[in-house]
Amino acid sequence: AYSYRKVLPVLSKDYHAITFDWLGFGFSDKPQPKYGFDYTLDEYVSSLESLIDELGVTKVSLVVQL
């Protein structure tokens, strides 16, 4: 989320924008593999699905950086 600190205000002018840190990146917790999060593609997809479900949104556009 920190890396979007300057982009978020711009996006928020026209969109409902939310940022978050993936587990293991940025300032988020870094659980050990096999103890709650295994850092696989399936784990990240499942986490994103859980976030979307929890937020109760039906339309999502992702803005990402590599």
What pLDDT is attached to residue 43? Answer: 87
Determine, yes or no, domain membership for 41. Answer: yes
Tell me the pLDDT of the chain (66 aa) as tens digits.
677 888 889 999 999 888 877 777 766 677 777 777 788 889 889 989 999 999 999 899 888 877
Determine, yes or no, domain membership for 28. Answer: yes
pTM, two decimal places = 0.70
CA dihedral 23, 41, 54, 63 (to 10 degrees): 80
Determine, yes or no, domain membership for 65. Answer: no
Determine, yes or no, domain membership for 43. Answer: yes
> How many angstroms separate the CA atoms of 47 and 37, rounded?
10
Determine, yes or no, domain membership for 63. Answer: no
Determine, yes or no, domain membership for 64. Answer: no
Which structural domain, as residue segments, surrounds residue 7? Answer: 2-55
Determine, yes or no, domain membership for 7. Answer: yes
Helices (H), the chain: 7-11, 41-55
Determine, yes or no, domain membership for 17. Answer: yes
Query: Domain count of the chain?
Result: 1
